[in-house]
Amino acid sequence: MAYEANYNNFTDNYLSYNGQYGISASSTSSNLYFNNSFVQNSVGNAYDSSTINIQWDNGSLGNSWDDYVGSDPDDNGVGQPVYTNIAGGAGNQDDYPIYWDAPVISVVSPVNNTYFNATAPTFTISVDEGVNDSLWYMLQSDANEYNFTSPSFQINQTAWDNAVLIDSTVTITLYVNDSRGYTNTTDSIVVKDPDAPAIAINEPAENNTYNFNAPQYNITILEGFLNNSWYTLGYNQTKHFISANSTGTINQTEWDSFPDGNITIHFYANDSAGNLGYNNVTVIKNTTAPNIEILSPSSNANVEVTAPSYSLNITAININATWYRIWDGTAWTTNYSCSNSTGTINQTIWTSVWTPLSHEDVIAIQFFVNDSVGREANATVQVKKYAPPSTNGNGDTPPADIPDIVVIIIIVGALGAVIGVIVVFVKSGSGKEVERIDKITDEL
C-alpha cells in the first residue's frame, strides 16, 4: 500500500490481518498517516523506507498500534513514549500514538500483612497513572461497594466488624476508573486481630506472702500474634520483658527496694495489632519477724479457780495462727488456739491444772504467734495459785466447807449463872454436824 504514492493523507483506516505490512511506504514522499488502526498484521504494522516528508502523526494525533508498549499517564488518549516500531530504515516514528489505558491505583499504606485490631484500618492510595473518575473498594465476601474520594480514608467500621476472615486475613480490593470507564484494581491483604492477649497468672497466688526472696512467677498468654510481654512491680514503671508462657523470678533488686506490705505485680502483653492485655496479682512482702507481748495477766498475779482472761499485743505483717499452752508443774498441756488478742483461758484445761496445785504454786502460761512465712514468736507469764487455808482462834483448820448454819447453846446453872456454851456448826445439805463446845467457867 502507498507504493509510489505522493502527497496523500491516509486517515480513518482499519488495517488488519494483512499478509505483509499494514502500510508499506516505499518510494513515496509527502504522505501523512494519522488516526489509523493497525491490528495483527503478519510481518509488521508499517514499513517506511522513504526519507522525504513521511509523517506518522499530524502533530497532535498519531495512530493506534496493537504492539504499542506504553501508557497514558495524563489520560488524554496519547501514549507515552513515542511509537518507534516502524520497519524500513527511514527512522520515522509516531510521536502521538493513540493509546488509552485504565488508571493505575496502588496502596501507599498499609503494606500487606499489616496487623489491625477492632478499629477499622486507614488506607492511603495513589493513582499513579491516568485520571480517576471514581474510586471505591470492596471487602472479601462483601457485595457492597464503598466509595471514597480522598486518597486517605478509613475502611467502613461496620464492614470491618463483619469482615469474613480467611486465616485471620482480610482482602480489600480497591478500584479506580476513568471517564471512558476503563477500570483497574489492586488488592491489599491485612490481618485482623480484634482480641487482646489473655494472660493467666498461675503463680504467685493472690495474697501469698514472701520474705527477702523475690517470688517466682508462672504465666500463660493466649495470643496468636504476640508481640511483647512484660511486668512491672508496684508503682514502678520499669518494664521487665519476659517470654510468653514463661516461668521466672521477679527482679530481686527491685523487690529489695520495696518496704514490707502489699505489692502488686502487673503483667502485660501486646500483639501485632496493638491490642494490650493485662492482669495483676497482689502479694505480701514480710521481712519483719512477729512479736508478742503479754499485757495481762501480769507476772506473779494471783489466780483462782476461775480461768483468767488474757490480753496480748501482737505485731506481725500477716498472722497465720496464735495459740497458748500451760505448764502444770510437770509438763506442758496441749496447744489451744486463740484467734484474738484478747480472751479467756479455756476453763476445762485451767481447772485440770489449777486444782492439783497448792497455794502459791507457780503456773506458767506461754503464748505463741507465727506468720504466713513460718516465723514464730512467743512470750511466757508466770502466775500463782491463790487458795489460802482458813484458821480459827485455836489454830485448828476448819473444814474446807464453810457452814451455812451456826447454833449457839448457852448452859445456865441453878443460881442463874452461865456455866457453859455449846456452838454447833451445821453445813446445809451435808447431812452431818461439826460440833465444838467451849465451856466458860468464869462467873458471868
Look-up of cell digits 461496620: 158
Contact 94, 63 (CB under 8 A): yes
Question: Of all residues in the chain, what percent are helix, strand and coil, respectively (each to 5)?
Answer: 5, 45, 50
The whole-angstrom separation of Cα 418 and Cα 178 is 151
Would 104-192 and 291-385 be classified into the same CATH topology?
yes
Domain boundaries, the chain: 1-101, 104-192, 200-285, 291-385, 394-444
Note down pLDDT in tens along the chain; length 444 residues: 556 788 999 999 999 999 999 999 888 889 999 999 999 999 999 999 987 889 999 999 999 999 999 989 888 899 999 999 999 989 999 999 999 999 999 999 999 999 999 999 999 999 998 889 999 999 998 999 999 999 999 999 999 999 988 778 999 999 999 988 999 999 999 999 999 999 999 999 999 999 999 999 999 999 989 999 999 999 999 999 999 888 999 999 999 999 999 999 999 999 999 999 999 999 999 998 899 999 999 999 999 999 999 999 999 888 889 999 999 889 999 999 998 899 999 999 999 999 999 999 999 999 999 988 888 999 999 999 999 886 554 545 455 444 556 667 777 666 666 666 666 555 444 444 444 434 333 433
CATH code of the domain made up of 104-192: 2.60.40.10
Which of these, 351, 348, 342, lies nearest to 309 by C-alpha position? Answer: 342
Burial class (CB in 10 A: 0-12, 13-18, 19+), 45: buried
Angstrom CA distances, 374 to 143, 286, 318, 367, 434, stand at: 68, 11, 10, 16, 61
The whole-angstrom separation of Cα 14 and Cα 38 is 6
Give the rounded distance of the alpha carbon of 336 from its chain centre: 44
The model's pTM: 0.59
The whole-angstrom separation of Cα 122 and Cα 152 is 7
The whole-angstrom separation of Cα 409 and Cα 429 is 22
Residue 254 phi, psi dihedral angles, 5° rounding? -70, -35
The pLDDT value recorded for residue 431 is 41
Burial class (CB in 10 A: 0-12, 13-18, 19+), 163: buried
Burial class (CB in 10 A: 0-12, 13-18, 19+), 201: middle
- Per DSSP, the three-state class of 129 is strand
The pLDDT value recorded for residue 433 is 41
The pLDDT value recorded for residue 2 is 54
Handedness of CA 104, 106, 112, 117 (dihedral sign): negative
The pLDDT value recorded for residue 439 is 39
Which of these, 208, 280, 216, 199, lies nearest to 251 by C-alpha position? Answer: 216
Q: Looking at domain 200-285, what is its CATH homologous superfamily? A: Immunoglobulins (2.60.40.10)
Give the rounded distance of the alpha carbon of 4 from its chain centre: 88
Give the rounded distance of the alpha carbon of 190 from its chain centre: 26
Residues in the chain: 444
Which residues are CB-neighbours of 207 under 8 A, at least 6 positions away? 282, 283, 284
Give the H or E element holding residue 354: helix 347-354
DSSP for 271-315, written as a single string: ETT--EEEEEEEEEE--SPPEEEEEESPTT-EE-SSPPEEEEEEE
Q: Looking at domain 291-385, what is its CATH homologous superfamily? A: Immunoglobulins (2.60.40.10)
The whole-angstrom separation of Cα 188 and Cα 112 is 6
Contact 250, 214 (CB under 8 A): yes
Angstrom CA distances, 370 to 259, 323, 358, 364, stand at: 20, 9, 34, 20
Strands 362-371 and 376-385 come out as: antiparallel
The whole-angstrom separation of Cα 383 and Cα 347 is 16
